[in-house]
Amino acid sequence: MNKRFRSWSASLAVVAALGLSAGGAMARDIVWARYGDIDSLDPQRATSTLSLQVWSLIYNTLLATDKDGKPVPNMAESWSANADGTQYTFKLHDGMKCSDGTPLDANDVKYTIDRAFDAANPSVTKSSWGPIEKVEVPDPLTVKLDLSKPFVALVPFLADSFSSIICDSNKDQPGFGTTAAIGSGPWTLQSWTKGDKIVLKKNPDYVNYGKLADNKGAPYMDGLDITVVPDEQARLAALKTGEVDIAEPPPDDVPQIQKTKDLNLVVADNTGQNVFWEFAVHRPPFNDKRARLAVGYATDAAAAVQLIYGDLTSQEECPISQGTFGNDPDFCKQFRPAYDPDKAKALLKELGYGPDHPLETNMLVWTGGNRDKLAEIFQQQLADVGIDAHIQMMDIGTMNARVKQENDTKTGIGSMDMMTWSWYDPDILYSLWHSPGAYDGFTTPELDAMLDKTRVLTDPKARADAVHDVLKYLLENGVQIPLYSPGWEWVFAVRPQVTGFHVAPFVYPIFNDVKIADD
């Protein structure tokens, strides 16, 4: 009797212990679930947003972004440039430390930049640093950069996590990028189980010099687990059970969440994301700007996104989005084709199209985020003016390949696509529309000259004017017809017990201020 009772209570204890450990009722970590995994912990070997967001947690950057998207001091307490923008000097804060205790100073900055320009194995984003010829360290708190030509996009780049400063103690780490990553961000790497989760612990020595967080020191919570949950319904279920604290909800469930309020919604702004129409311009019909503008006049993006996304996003007037230098809705409104079906019909008539001879085109759209429903609304709007658009949904990889293919083909019906890019600087327009052009698209010598100017003008007013010239050109010629911003992965559902979560410009979630109330 005694023996049976003992073994029974022993197994009960084991079950209870298993249950407790499985439930994770010990010191709580923040759990953030995303649809995919990072490519690498090495900021010079990958470019996906999923990777970028994690680098922003582990590493730090010379500059930071304020709430309007402008670069402000961070690791560098001040900086200056010479008159023609070929020399930059950065003064660093004293006493900074890497998460392994080694000092963080100008030598780490030099290590990072030299590594990016390494001849044998350069960074995959090397060209974003600009034409840096030399990095000098006159003293441990000063970095001097010499450029062969001016490149003003360097400054906002230094505020973005693509330019994450890699501590030079990483050079002796054999698993740097896969199992090791020493930085100076608010969180330090504990482990990365590929495809499954990244476990971060707070960096107790972290000092916030300029990032957008109220907390000026180390994060309040002890740990942050970044897990991979590909299915959107599973993410929502996990939010409801409390297994996950923060995740992107299914777009269809957002109105319900807004109504019942059992989860809070955090909507990122100043995302730098721009969703736009672009066209296969090297053959009819879209080699003629009137056809492109007709599509612009026929499209009522405001109504369409209101129907699908409600108040979560809005029509974007400029080819570069809010938060990006040069964005100016009032300016762009003067030149972009606004919703005007009659004007669209008139232009199509000029081109010889009419009710019994509609303009035929394929409409390429990438899958997910209810974009299929959005595409149907656009299709209807186009049909109303006499444009017959055939929707083709495909994953983003296939779509990029197809856009290039359509640009290279001289035959076939017209092709237009709903493309999206996000970037922290108007320099994105350079890589999209300067020859040779992204995916062999639209380029002209006139536009090239205008874009070249935007790269070198150091005076902000002069650069803004140059950027505006480009915007005007793009809008008046229907090269890029802005639709809406933000456009993807910008909505976060947060459990009500979780406070202090917010998202910095260019979709960088901040966890420094997070506190969880249910312990």
Partner 1 sequence: MWRFLAGRLGMGVLTIFATTIAVTLLIHLVPGDPVQIMYAQSQGTTPEQLDTIRHSLGLDQPIYIQYFNFIGQLLHGNLGFTIRGHQPVLDVVSQRLPNTLALAGVAMAIAILVGVPIGFAAAYRQSSWLDAGLMTLSIAGVSMPGFWLGLILMMVFAVDLGWLPVSGTGPRNIVLPALTLGISNAAIVARMTRSSMIDVLQQDFVRTAEAKGLPKSVVLSRHVLRAGLLPIVTMMGLQFAFMMGGAVVVENIFAWNGVGRMAVDAIFQRDYPVIQGFILTFAVVVVVVSIVLDALYALLDPRIRRS
**Which residues of this protein are in contact with partner 1, per CB under 8 A?**
18, 22, 33, 36-37, 39-40, 45-49, 52, 122, 124-128, 162, 177-178, 193-196, 227-231, 233-234, 237-238, 240-241, 243-244, 395-398, 400-402, 405, 421-423, 427-428, 430-432, 436, 438
The minimum distance between CB 196 and partner 1, in angstroms, equals 4
Q: Cα separations (Å) of 170 from 182, 202, 260?
A: 6, 19, 48
Our CB check for partner 1 shows the closer of 240 and 357 to be 240
Our CB check for partner 1 shows the closer of 197 and 345 to be 197
152, 77, 164, 54: which is closest to 112 by C-alpha?
Answer: 164
Our CB check for partner 1 shows the closer of 429 and 471 to be 429
Q: Measured between alpha carbons, how far is 299 from 485 in angstroms, rounded to an integer? A: 15
The minimum distance between CB 268 and partner 1, in angstroms, equals 16
Our CB check for partner 1 shows the closer of 244 and 281 to be 244
Helix (H, G, I), strand (E, B) or coil at 256: helix
Measured in whole angstroms, the distance separating CA 182 from the mean position of its chain's CA atoms is: 23
Our CB check for partner 1 shows the closer of 367 and 380 to be 367
Measured in whole angstroms, the distance separating CA 381 from the mean position of its chain's CA atoms is: 29
Our CB check for partner 1 shows the closer of 436 and 445 to be 436
259, 266, 262, 220: which is closest to 242 by C-alpha?
Answer: 262
What DSSP string describes 470-490? HHHHHHHTTSSEEEEE--SS-
Our CB check for partner 1 shows the closer of 274 and 512 to be 274
Helix (H, G, I), strand (E, B) or coil at 166: coil
* DSSP letter (8 states) at residue 240: H
The minimum distance between CB 405 and partner 1, in angstroms, equals 7
The minimum distance between CB 473 and partner 1, in angstroms, equals 19
The minimum distance between CB 125 and partner 1, in angstroms, equals 3
Our CB check for partner 1 shows the closer of 243 and 278 to be 243
The minimum distance between CB 48 and partner 1, in angstroms, equals 5
What DSSP string describes 315-334? E--SSS-TTSTT--HHHHHT
The minimum distance between CB 427 and partner 1, in angstroms, equals 7
The minimum distance between CB 13 and partner 1, in angstroms, equals 17
Alpha-carbon torsion (34, 37, 42, 44), positive or negative = negative
CB 211 within 8 A of CB 61: no
Q: Measured between alpha carbons, how far is 27 from 96 in angstroms, rounded to an integer? A: 28
Tell me the pairing of strands 359-366 and 481-485: unpaired
